Amino acid sequence: MRDTPGITMNSRSARSWSLRKKAIASPELVIGTSILAVLFNFIPGAKAQSYPDYSPLRYQLQHTYEGASFFDHFNYYSDSDPTDGFVTYVTKDTSQALNLTYATDTTATLRVDTSTPNPSGGRNSVRVESKNTYDSGLFVFDIIHTPYGCGTWPALWLTDGANWPRNGEIDILESHNHGSHGNEMSLHTMAGCSMDVERRQAGTAMDGNCDIGADGNAGCAVMGDPSTYGVGFNTGGGGVYALELRTAGIRIWNFARSKIPSDIHGGSPDPSSWGLPLADFPSTNCDVASHFRNMNIVANIDLCGQFAGMSSHYTQMYGCPGSCADFVASNPSQFEDAYWQFGGIRVYNASQ
């Protein structure tokens, strides 16, 4: 389980969940939250004076993750799963031997094992963490395919696993099971970071308190529509997610393949020209620089666990059969679509 403030935290405690994100399984709560957010954001003068200055920054390329060397820039996490999933995260050697990670000149793929029958300790899967760490920057993820299927809990995120939650967590893409409800973007922090403020975004605001000690570590989340994840996103060749992390705030954009801005294609990205982000986490009541630092890029595909395995998500929401662990163990062929495929990742920093 994730540790609470004041208790010594395991160096790999990141991404352990209690009964969080209950709003995903509750459309009534989503609608109610949306109405409150709209009313708040359009009350004349409500927090308007506090909204941060997102003046344009000039970004220059810092790191590139692409081509045959993609996985050379990552470490493989192979400890036990801190979220109680029915999964075995394998080493680099095992992953390559099982063909769970591989790269070509144009793509990099991470997938779940689709051949081993009835594994006793959990189905083999992959979690990779970048060797580089970041305090700020513009992260552009070219994503061709997002993983989905009963029992899956994939995520693409930034965190400092050795110092979680002190150095924060940013979930850029996260979903569960078939993922057709859309992508959930969220922050998880120590106390003192709130999003109950004016926000300018296309997604639907959920919980406003980012503190891991509040509301069972629900975090402060924003939901995208069904086109932002799974089949809805993969159709047409996926697209681009872009994360801007700066002192003014954290913003996330999503572009379908056919609508990727020309400045991204040209290698000179300018977020100020992209319009409304899908998710906006302004610094109004959150000191971004102190809550988010020294973070790795992490991509993984968990199975079952404290989120995807919940009956409200696994059975009630998606109608997946039997128990999650039994399904994952006995149906290897059902994980053919449980893979990430990246065209590449580029990280830019702001020039002085």
Radius of gyration (C-alpha) of the chain in whole angstroms: 19
Is 174 tagged catalytic? yes
User: Would you state the structure tokens that stand for residue 216, as one six-digit string?
Assistant: 């069972």
Catalytic residue among 174, 184, 198, 244: 174
Distances from the Cα of 212 to the Cα of 14, 90, 243, 285, 297, angstroms: 11, 28, 21, 16, 20
Is 169 tagged catalytic? yes
Distances from the Cα of 288 to the Cα of 185, 194, 201, 202, 244, angstroms: 16, 11, 18, 21, 12
Of 97, 166, 92, the C-alpha closest to 131 is 92
Q: Before 226, cis peptide (omega within 30)?
A: no
Residues 129, 296: contact at Cβ < 8 Å? yes
Residues 198, 51: contact at Cβ < 8 Å? yes
User: Would you state the structure tokens that stand for residue 76, as one six-digit string?
Assistant: 């493989």
Give the integer Cα–Cα distance in Å for 206 and 243: 19
Catalytic residue among 28, 66, 129, 169: 169
Active site residues: 169, 174
